[in-house]
A and B are shown apart, each in its own frame.
Chain A
Amino acid sequence: MADLAQPAPRFREIASGKLGDARIQGALDEATDRLMTNRIAAWAGLPGVEELRQRAHEIRMEVIDDLDGHVARFTDALEDRGGHVYFARTADEASAYIADVCRKRGAKLAAKSKSMASEEIGLNAALEAVGVTPVETDLGEYILQLAGEHPVHIVAPAIEKTAGQVAELLSAVGGKWVPPELEALTNAARTQLRETFLEADVGITGANFGVSETGSVCLVTNEGNARLVSSLPPVHVAIMGMERLVPTTVDLAVLLKLLARSGTGQKITVYTTLLTGPRRPGETDGPEEQHVVILDNGRTKLLRGRYREMLACIRCGACLNVCPVYRKTGGAAYSDVYSGPMGAVLLPLLVGLEQAPSLPHASSLCGACTAACPVKIPLHELLLDLRRDLVAEHVAPWWERLGFTLWSLAWSRPLGYRLSTALARLGQPLAGLLGPGRVWSRGRKLPRFGRRYRDRR
């Protein structure tokens, strides 16, 4: 599976590189501003948006309250339509099943549509290991695959790449120089990927939603690649996080109204596809065989605890665009898959806090993420809870826990408070040279400690 574990120093190391790169800072500013502004305008144009967000939250929690029941209903409904359902407890089980589907068909080429779940399970490496070549067909993901990189944003995966870099990558594939102009680049990618769509033995997609009652998989794209991938190859495999179910198509409509508006600011994406089983008698195209892999990979751990609301996430990316941390660091610092506030909450829950101890700190706790979340997940509160767990579970280092214990003891009494500020004034010249003060002041100026709180500069 993809390595979701994030050792403590990783965030700071990668973020420092991004912070020092003026071009990447410009690209991040532009992309996050545009997506955020579009979302705000789209929400403003949607009558009753607050009621709709509340309804969306309720629909998602209804599913989470009875997830086993929904998985069973979805499975029955899809099997009635001739589809195959496989429940994968782990990333490796999911990859192995898909590799097996490919092996049975003697597949050599798999066309893939953008899927965060497939990134999560490290599917591409697993396919290559059994001799299947996976080709990403989302334009951004295709560019990243050629570059050997990972997505840095859920809905805009390649925002850090320039037209010049894209031109070099596409020129190398076709063996013909492609000028770094939008139309030429788009046409080159269209031509290169069209062959993949037509020749692929297997099409692999994610799933934005599954509908429990009908056994349908809903896919949302602007490019149309998910439609091609799920229509042309003889086999279609969809990988769906187990929490992506909604009870009925009526509920699906509520979420669809919020998803595109929150992700890109569109009322609806160009292609919204609802697939219910394989091709039916008399139809001349569509897959002969359809598989849906329902992925647990740590999600059931969240079902009963206080982090269960995180399972309501619909992966729209709105929280990334408003986050003052993400907007500066970009996505790579968080992980190769999920990033921003949703990633900072989800990753430690999936892999364990000790495997991602820096992520709960990748937040100013300003609450912009919570305000932007279309399904009302209290993201910044969950991040704060995770920080509490870091201390309670002794994941935080002993000196950090000791420091905060002493601080809280001192500041519970007026005398302790006055003593501590007096010490701070004495220690002022050293504060930027030692320990946390040194790290903190690397990119900032330490404030001067005043005699009284209001004297602080």
Chain B
Amino acid sequence: MSLVDDFVANAEAVGCHVHRGAAPELDGAGVSTALYGLADTGSVVLAAAPDEPRANSLLPDVHVTLLREDRILPGLDELFAALGNDLPSALAIVTGPSRSADIEQKLAVGVHGPREVHVVLLSAG
């Protein structure tokens, strides 16, 4: 399996919606551009920047993130190797929608952060 296939399988396993090529029409969604994706865990990596506010992936009910396929890395080791020591003020590794099992050990989705996470894969180039 390729890194992209791995990423898709793992992202769907943690409850993300993965789209290829076209972004879905979702009212009120917060949109971000992912710096990297991690195949191993199905995570998207978001770095705070002037045009990448933290709130976009935190406050709206639906978070849509755009990820270029050639930005998908195998996992955490490769991520920190790629980043080096030049870290953004806030780096968020997001793996699926917000969840909690604090009430009677039952899984609840969307406690504080977005209830839905959509990843739009863009082909390289």
Contact = CB atoms under 8 A, between A and B. Distances in A.
A243 interface: no
Contacts of B92: 227, 271-274
Contacts of A232: 55, 58
Contact of B104 (A162, A189, A252): A162
A416 interface: no
B89 A278 contact: yes
A158 B106 CA distance: 12
A105 interface: no
Interface in A266-281: 266-280
A359 interface: no
Interface residues of B, number: 45
Interface in A160-218: 161-163, 166, 182-183, 185-186, 189-190, 193-194, 197, 213-214, 216
Interface string B8-47: 0010001000000000000000000000000011010000
Contacts of B43: 268, 272
Given A216-B87, A227-B58, A274-B90, A190 B111 contact: yes
Contact of A182 (B49, B81, B98, B108): B108
B122 interface: no
Interface in B72-125: 76-77, 79-81, 83, 85, 87-106, 108, 110-114
Contacts of A248: 80
A330 to B, nearest CB: 14
Contact of B111 (A139, A156, A250, A257): A139
A234 interface: no
A157 interface: yes
B83 A139 contact: no
Interface string A14-46: 000000000000010011001000000000000
The size bracket of the interface on A is 35 or more
Contacts of B96: 270
Interface string A399-443: 000000000000000000000000000000000000000000000
A270 B105 contact: no
A189 B111 contact: yes
A232 B48 CA distance: 13
A182 B55 contact: no
B97 A156 contact: no
Contact of A137 (B93, B103, B112): B112
Contact of A253 (B54, B76, B101, B112): B76
Given A161-B103, A186-B111, A223 B98 contact: yes
B40 A267 contact: yes
Interface string A60-101: 000000000000000000000100000000000000000000
A277 B102 CA distance: 31
Interface string A106-123: 000000000000000000
Contacts of A324: none
A27 B80 CA distance: 39
B33 to A, nearest CB: 15
Contacts of B10: 267
A264 to B, nearest CB: 8
Contact of B110 (A159, A190, A275): A190
A421 B78 CA distance: 65
Contact of A138 (B55, B90, B99, B102): B102
A283 interface: yes
Contact of B98 (A222, A257, A274, A282): A222
Pick from A31, A157, A273 the residue with the most CB of B within 10 Å.
Answer: A273
21 contacts: A34-B105, A139-B100, A139-B108, A139-B111, A143-B102, A158-B103, A161-B103, A186-B110, A186-B111, A190-B112, A194-B112, A197-B112, A224-B113, A250-B77, A268-B43, A270-B98, A271-B93, A273-B91, A275-B89, A275-B91, A278-B89
Given A256-B76, A271-B98, A272-B43, 18 more contacts: A34-B105, A140-B102, A157-B102, A159-B105, A162-B104, A193-B112, A194-B112, A224-B113, A228-B113, A248-B80, A250-B80, A250-B81, A267-B10, A267-B41, A270-B113, A274-B92, A278-B89, A286-B48
Interface of B: 10, 14, 40-41, 43, 48-50, 53-55, 58, 76-77, 79-81, 83, 85, 87-106, 108, 110-114
Interface of A: 27, 30-31, 34, 81, 137-140, 143, 156-159, 161-163, 166, 182-183, 185-186, 189-190, 193-194, 197, 213-214, 216, 222-225, 227-228, 230-232, 248-250, 252-253, 256-257, 264, 266-280, 282-286
